[in-house]
């Protein structure tokens, strides 16, 4: 019995470490996108479509080389789940970037990043029969609180009525991201991680195409911009999402959603290195609190289900 418990914890820790590594790759999205904005006239929605499309094409090629059947539903009742994966990923892009246009970047990022793990924690017991342990609850409070301090230290948070629409869109982004986590964990029983993210990006690319293609015509992209686009699509999207979903094989959805909060910490560190942005006292305190939450999560998460 002791050996079995240690094996479960070991696999859970391995899953969390894989998700943490993927979250670090996610953190490169900001600096890479900002570099593209400085070099070109591309819009955030255009960047989102390119990263989804590059990732989808690369994953389809990988599936072809694997010589395995393309992912498909077992029955008609599975179709909404597969569509939900792509709608969640595409919906996140649309709501997040539309929200930024109607509110401050900090407000929308704060709402989207900090609300998503809470949504997952509340819904996972209902949809996935996961048990919310005391340790995971403490880790959630520390990580979300630390992320909030970290994000607000770098910009302006506004909850005024003038920014209500944008902030509500940020909440929509949180629900979209949480939906992806919950659906991914649900379908891992009959789809592998590669199939899940391939379906997600293909559907998301098709969803975003009518909205983004018009923007790309005036983006002014050159061959010198494609290394950034490829890095964004292959590393910060395909590999990052792949590690997230693969890690959820061993980790609970709630623990996984908390681990993804390493993304804003990575983004803040990279911004400090490349763009000389300072965290300030509140940001450093938030980073410490976030890391404390991750330590609690790593040491005590048992990824158990009720």
- The rounded mean pLDDT for the chain is 85
Going by C-beta distance under 8 Å and a sequence separation of 6 or more, which residues neighbour residue 1?
Answer: none
d(C-alpha 184, C-alpha 201), whole Å:
13
pTM for this model (two decimals)? 0.86
The pLDDT assigned to 68 comes to 62
d(C-alpha 32, C-alpha 45), whole Å:
14
Average pLDDT over residues 104-120: 88
Tokens standing for residue 267: 């983004």
d(C-alpha 197, C-alpha 167), whole Å:
28
Tokens standing for residue 240: 């990052």
Give the CA count within 13 Å in the CB-facing half-sphere of 239. Answer: 16
Contact 106, 283 (CB under 8 A): no
The pLDDT assigned to 301 comes to 53
d(C-alpha 132, C-alpha 118), whole Å:
11
The pLDDT assigned to 171 comes to 94
Average pLDDT over residues 13-34: 88
Q: What is the DSSP letter of 269?
A: H
**Measured CA distances, 50 to 18, 217, 228, 240, 287 (Å):** 25, 13, 11, 16, 31
**Measured CA distances, 193 to 59, 115, 278 (Å):** 11, 24, 37
Q: What is the DSSP letter of 156?
A: -
Residues in the chain: 306
Q: 159-200 pLDDT, tens per residue? A: 777 888 988 999 999 999 999 999 999 998 888 888 899 989
Q: Say what percent of the chain tops pLDDT 90.
A: 42
pLDDT exceeds cutoff 80 at 242 = yes
């Amino acid at each position: 019995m002791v050996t079995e418990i240690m094996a479960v914890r070991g696999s859970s820790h391995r899953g969390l470490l894989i998700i943490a590594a993927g979250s670090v790759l996610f953190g490169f999205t900001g600096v890479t996108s900002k570099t593209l904005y400085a070099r070109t006239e591309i819009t955030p929605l255009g960047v989102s479509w390119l990263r989804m499309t590059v990732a989808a094409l690369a994953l389809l090629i990988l599936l072809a080389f694997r010589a395995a059947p393309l992912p498909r539903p077992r029955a008609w009742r599975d179709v909404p789940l597969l569509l939900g994966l792509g709608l969640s990923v595409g919906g996140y892009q649309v709501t997040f970037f539309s929200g930024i246009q109607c509110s401050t970047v900090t407000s929308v990022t704060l709402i989207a990043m900090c609300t998503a793990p809470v949504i997952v924690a509340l819904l996972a017991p209902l949809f996935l029969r996961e048990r919310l342990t005391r340790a995971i609850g403490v880790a959630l409070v520390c990580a979300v609180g630390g992320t909030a301090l970290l994000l607000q230290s770098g910009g302006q948070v506004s909850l005024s009525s003038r920014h209500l629409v944008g902030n509500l869109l940020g909440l929509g982004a949180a629900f979209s991201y949480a939906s992806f986590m919950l659906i991914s964990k649900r379908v891992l029983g009959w789809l592998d991680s590669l199939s899940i993210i391939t379906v997600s990006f293909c559907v998301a690319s098709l969803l975003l195409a009518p909205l983004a293609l018009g923007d790309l015509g005036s983006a002014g992209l050159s061959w010198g911009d494609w290394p950034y686009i490829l890095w964004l699509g292959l590393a910060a999207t395909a590999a990052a999402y792949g590690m997230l979903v693969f890690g959820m094989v061993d980790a609970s959805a709630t623990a996984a959603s908390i681990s993804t909060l390493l993304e804003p910490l990575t983004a803040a560190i990279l911004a400090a290195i490349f763009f000389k942005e300072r965290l300030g006292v509140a940001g450093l305190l938030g980073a410490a609190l976030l890391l404390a939450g991750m330590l609690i999560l790593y040491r005590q998460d048992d990824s158990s289900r009720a």
